[in-house]
Amino acid sequence: MRRPIESVAQLSSAPGELLVAFASSDGEMVDEHFGSAAAFYLYRLSAGAAEFVAEQRFGQEKKDGNEDKLKPKLAWLAGCDLVYVGSIGGSATRQLVALDIAPMQVAEGPEVTDLLAELQQQLAGTPERWLDNILKRKARRSAGGFSVNAMEEWVE
């Protein structure tokens, strides 16, 4: 069994890689509403590989508008690039976007493996505009983080 992680932010990913989470009851298909999701399954994805990284379980929640139930999910997903959900409300969408996480709502419970394969195909070729924007944002964050760290360690 994999060591649990406190937050996706603990992980790193190389340029061109994505950290992608799926709201799923069983890890096989995307079938959960974001706010009431019992679990998220996290993958590190590149054009050539899809690596399962972690699973995080949450208590069963009602779809009742209780904003407090979002906090542990948002805290765990911080650092993720993309999250696939069966459905999601406006408040959760805004909070994910504020964390620089792209929410993707998909209907009819697509299989996680199919979504991973579609993403890999785009990463290997020409990504659609939405995915290209995620990759560009991620590259800007990485470049900014590198320059700040490099400056902090600079010694004359």
pLDDT at 72: 94
Q: Determine, yes or no, domain membership for 124.
A: yes
pLDDT at 145: 52
Under the banding of pLDDT at 50, 70 and 90, the label for residue 61 is: low
Please name the amino acid found at residue 155.
V
pLDDT at 147: 39
pLDDT value at 66 more than 90: no
Q: Which domain holds residue 102?
A: 8-152
Report the domain count for the chain.
Answer: 1
Q: Determine, yes or no, domain membership for 121.
A: yes
Q: Determine, yes or no, domain membership for 37.
A: yes
CATH label of the domain that carries residue 36: 3.30.420.130
Q: Determine, yes or no, domain membership for 88.
A: yes
Torsion of CA 12, 14, 18, 19, to 10 degrees: -10
Q: Of 55, 48, 41, whose CA–CA distance to 112 is shortest? A: 41
Q: Determine, yes or no, domain membership for 1.
A: no
Q: Determine, yes or no, domain membership for 3.
A: no
Which tens digit of pLDDT belongs to each residue from 108-156?
889 999 999 999 999 999 999 999 999 998 888 877 654 333 334 434 4
CA 53 vs CA 23, 50, 104, 122, 125: distances in Å: 14, 9, 20, 21, 24
DSSP 28: S
Under the banding of pLDDT at 50, 70 and 90, the label for residue 59 is: confident
pLDDT at 29: 97
CA 6 vs CA 44, 55, 83, 156: distances in Å: 16, 11, 17, 37
